[in-house]
Amino acid sequence: MKIIKGNIVESQSLNNVRFIKDGGILIDDNGTIVDVLEKIPSDTKYQIEDYKDKLIMHSFCDMHLHAPQYPMVGMGMDLQLIDWLNTYTFKNEARFKDLDFARNVYHRLANELIKNGTTRVVMFSSLHVDATLVLMEELEKAGVTGYVGKVNMDRNSVPELYESTEESKQETLRWLKECKKFKFVKPIITPRFTPSCTNELMEFLGNLAEKEGLFIQSHLSENLGEIEWVHSLHPDTNQYWETYDKYKMWKDHTLMAHTVHSNERERKAMKDNGVISVHCPDSNVNLSSGVCPVRTFLNEGIWVVLGSDIAGGSMLPMYKNIQAAIKASKINYIRSGYKDMFLSVNEAYYLGTSSAHKYFDGKEGFATGKKLHAIVVDDSNFTPSVRELSLKERFERAIYMMEKENIISVYSEGRKIF
């Protein structure tokens, strides 16, 4: 057993951050949390990893990003979703049939994630099974855990990025078999989005997920043109979400990225079925999709987490996306005539950490029985300080000022990565 000692910043629920000055997290030899200590007994028999005055925070979870889009961060940002997909994204993703290229990009991506304190992800790969396996290997090696999806897409793509319905099915099965070798990175069923998949493929994927007990991720109601397109492809449905529901993919733990334009009925369907909204505020502004009314989602009891949506989003570090979520919510606050309250720093921290950690292990905060996912933040070099700051102030400043060099240690799935 070991005590990780420092100033604990624990997100216990949406509103509540617990600050413990000189506290500790007691973990066992497997890195499982045994207790959070408000005080460390001077005669403790446990080994102490002493981070002194530094902040011990939750590590971050990036619940929606496209790994093969990493090389195109910050390009094509003057375009909207569908043009951006056709001009940049699909051509870029097609490059990942080259495994050396994939290795190079994914090695870099996995290490950048860890250096920035992101220890858990739910990620889109491309349609290429071999490159997807390379991605999963690189994530495991770097210490990133979570879910990765081989993307399924058998229509409405460019010639360079194509799989037939049959190929898509067979390749998915081959991929799932290969995935058994991974310990920390698991597969998730990933229809790109409704316009990319034939009904036959959707049906196959829904059944497969059910049979294998796999979770599902996709996109929902990101852009107005996209919504119309989906409706024209599925005229028998009333709303976008029903195109997933039709194929048994609208269920508990299904992650739906964006939900910018989800109306009350669509939101109710999320809430009633345990579908989770992955809010990607930076991407939604970059691609001029809109601003998701997160406060409304939270008021209605919908589970919300955050995603960088690389490369619609242009910022990999989740502390920056937490900031972006606050800023996006302030836009809604202003737009509502100061009625829809913006996300406080506590709340946005929760969405980027605790709310998403719960996806993986069922509990919020540094709860007993969870594997430790944490970062240690050295905030001593931010700026000279006017007076001694409270832990709450230091925490707020960390969210706004942190850069990767301030993250001096990372714990992922109970293991100290650095």
Is 105 among the residues that bind a second copy (CB under 8 A)? yes
Residue from 131, 249, 285, 410 that binds a second copy (CB under 8 A)? 285
Is 385 among the residues that bind a second copy (CB under 8 A)? yes
Q: Which of 380, 351, 378 is nearest to 292 (CA)?
A: 351
Listed ranges 51-59, 100-108, 157-165, 191-199: which one lies at the site for a second copy (CB under 8 A): 100-108
The continuous run of DSSP H or E covering 226 comes out as helix 224-233
Give 303 or 349: the residue with its C-beta nearer to a second copy: 349
Tell me which residues in 217-276 interact with a second copy (CB under 8 A).
none
Is 164 among the residues that bind a second copy (CB under 8 A)? no
The residues, any chain, with a CB within 8 Å of residue 277's CB and separated by 6 or more, are 256, 259, 262, 270, 292, 294, 297, 302, 303, 304, 305
Q: Which amino acid is at 354?
A: S
Give 91 or 416: the residue with its C-beta nearer to a second copy: 91
Is 95 among the residues that bind a second copy (CB under 8 A)? yes
Residue 348 C-beta: closest distance to a second copy, Å: 10
Phi, psi for 259 (deg, rounded to 5): 45, 35
Residue 393 C-beta-side C-alpha neighbours within 13 Å: 7
Listed ranges 23-31, 133-141, 292-300, 390-398: which one lies at the site for a second copy (CB under 8 A): 390-398
- Is residue 190 within 8 A of residue 154, CB to CB? The reply is no
Is 72 among the residues that bind a second copy (CB under 8 A)? yes
Map residues 331-360 to x or -, x wherever contact with a second copy holds by CB under 8 A. x-xxx--x---x-xx---------------
Is 16 among the residues that bind a second copy (CB under 8 A)? no
Is 139 among the residues that bind a second copy (CB under 8 A)? no
Residue from 291, 367, 391, 417 that binds a second copy (CB under 8 A)? 291
3-state secondary structure of 91: helix
3-state percent helix, strand, coil for the chain, nearest multiple of 5: 40, 25, 35
Size of the site for a second copy (CB under 8 A): 51
Is 391 among the residues that bind a second copy (CB under 8 A)? no
Can you list the pairs that 72-79 forms with residues at least 24 positions away whose Cβ atoms lie under 8 Å?
A: 72/311, 73/310, 73/311, 73/314, 73/316, 74/311, 74/314, 75/311, 77/286, 77/287, 77/314, 79/287
3-state secondary structure of 409: strand
Residue 104 C-beta: closest distance to a second copy, Å: 5
Phi, psi for 294 (deg, rounded to 5): -60, -40
Is 78 among the residues that bind a second copy (CB under 8 A)? yes
Q: Which amino acid is at 298?
A: L
Give 69 or 217: the residue with its C-beta nearer to a second copy: 69
Residue 330 C-beta: closest distance to a second copy, Å: 5
Give 105 or 356: the residue with its C-beta nearer to a second copy: 105
3-state secondary structure of 375: strand
- Is residue 87 within 8 A of residue 76, CB to CB? The reply is yes
Which residues of the shown chain bind a second copy in the complex (CB under 8 A)? 70-75, 77-78, 91-92, 95, 101, 104-105, 108-109, 282, 285-286, 288-291, 314, 323, 326-327, 330-331, 333-335, 338, 342, 344-345, 382-387, 389, 393, 396-401, 403
